[in-house]
Amino acid sequence: MNEPASMPPRACDLVVRGDFVLPMTAGLPEIAGGAVAVRGGEIVAVGAADDVAADWLANDEIAGGIVLPGLINTHGHAGMTLYRGLGDDMPLEQWLHEFVWPAEKKFTNAETVAAGTRLAVAEMLACGTTSFADMYFFQQTVGEVAEECGMRVLLGQAVIGFPVPGCPTPETAFDKVRALDAAFDGHDLVRPSMALHAVYTLTPQLMERGAAVAAELGSPLQIHLSETRTEVDDCREAHGMTPPALCARTGVLREHTICAHGVHLTADDVALIRESGAGISLNPESNLKLASGIADIAGLLAAGVPLGLGTDGAASNNDLDMWDSIRLAALLPKGTTLDPTVVPAREAVRMATVGGARLFGWEQRVGTLEVGKRADLCVIDTSAAHQTPLYHPYSHLAYATHGSDVVHTVVDGRVVYRDRRHTTLDVTDVCATVTRIARRVASTV
């Protein structure tokens, strides 16, 4: 009896091979000698490289040591790369009042935000980050830059209770949020959100207004929350409650609210956040640099609070390398609890991928490598001395990998960073533009 003829391989746009493929799906499996096939920006196969090759004939192919979903930076201020290193070694309140806000008043406009955002996108793509949340000004410009460079972004027009660049009043900012929603409706890469700055820069009435607009638009909501002890103490004095309690009272705390930082939380705060469906963007490097404190990552994880990782802005970090955030998310809880088993390597990597997608409400589109999802991924070169030998890929990712180990980055099926070279922007030109702006800043601040 004749064997049935095998089907010829189907055409696809891209195959990505790795010594290990980590889909980040349930159980966090490892596929040794794996591959991912992509067609039309969508993942069409994930499995053993031989099986994928038998079924799919690629027009293009890239390869490396470890293939995993692209990292998702859940909190940052992209345009603030312009102020990287402008003010260091001081607490948050002093840093904001003496350096950041005066510089922004003089120099932040659509042109400088475009330049700073291009620089941020260049840095993030080179580190394997494929999606980022922004909370800043001139978000129409940020969306256009992200689209131009081929990066996924959750926009966040910052709403603050006093005049800021581009928004003389909070109502202007609310109008811009609505305009962003209309401008990027249904966009593949660019999605808008409501970004309320913080309880200390907004009245409860403005917080209620922001929550109502976000509900009207059906958009995620971002807010800085319980970042410092001063913020918590001042909120108690002014409102008789903690920042999470105030957010709950004003309708800000809800599903797909991204609470940035969450360093100083009571047990009641944690319960409020968990029950609301909101999540926390952990930014350990920025918190350490500003001496804001250390979030109870292990406790939040045990409590079932959705967690993602972020870098914060380059002015308070001072880089946008998510691998630093992964490493600190795994290491800090071990040091503070004296328990080496808490927040294992796999969990830290999961926060940076699956966790971020969940915080954004994008878990049906990105965050894992699965058939039917958009092809956002990065490839790690594991041939360097500090990556050798390789026993366990999750261990390498959490404890040994740096942004410079990323060799390829793919967003929506497009190779935007290939063999450590950008394909969608000219980094030399971007850096030169930012350097020219920085000279003006340095001469007057």
Residue 375 structure tokens: 């092809």
* Residue 217 confidence (pLDDT): 96
Residues near 159 by beta carbon (within 8 Å), at least 6 away in sequence: 167, 170, 173, 174, 177, 194, 195, 196, 197, 202, 206, 210
What is the tally of structural domains in the chain? 1
Say if residue 243 is preceded by a cis peptide, omega within 30 of 0: no
Taking only the tens place, the pLDDT of each residue in 102-156 is 888 889 999 999 999 999 999 999 999 999 999 999 999 999 999 999 999 999 9
**Distance between CA 6 and CA 423 in Å, rounded?**
37
Domain residues for the domain of 79 are: 1-360+368-445
Q: Is the pLDDT of residue 101 over 90?
A: no
Taking only the tens place, the pLDDT of each residue in 255-310 is 999 999 999 999 999 999 999 999 999 999 999 999 999 999 999 999 999 999 99
**CB count, 10 Å around CB of 414?**
18
* Residue 98 confidence (pLDDT): 87
**CB distance 37 to 13 below 8 Å:** no
Burial class (CB in 10 A: 0-12, 13-18, 19+), 405: buried
Residue 3 structure tokens: 């064997």
Question: Percent of the chain beyond pLDDT 90?
Answer: 91
* Residue 443 confidence (pLDDT): 81
**CB distance 369 to 377 below 8 Å:** yes
Q: 230: pLDDT confidence band, cut at 50, 70 and 90?
A: very high
∠ Cα 209 138 375 (to 5°): 95
Quickly list DSSP for 196-248: E--TTSS-HHHHHHHHHHHHHHT--EEEEES-SHHHHHHHHHHHSS-HHHHHH
* Residue 442 confidence (pLDDT): 85
Q: 246: pLDDT confidence band, cut at 50, 70 and 90?
A: very high
Provide the edge-to-edge strand list for the sheet that holds 421-422: 42-48, 31-39, 14-21, 61-69, 377-380, 406-411, 414-418, 421-422
Q: Is the pLDDT of residue 2 over 70?
A: no
Taking only the tens place, the pLDDT of each residue in 315-357 is 889 999 999 999 999 999 999 999 999 999 999 999 999 999 9
For position 354, which CATH number holds?
A: 3.20.20.140
Name the average pLDDT for the chain. 96
Q: 1: pLDDT confidence band, cut at 50, 70 and 90?
A: very low
* Residue 445 confidence (pLDDT): 67
* Residue 30 confidence (pLDDT): 97
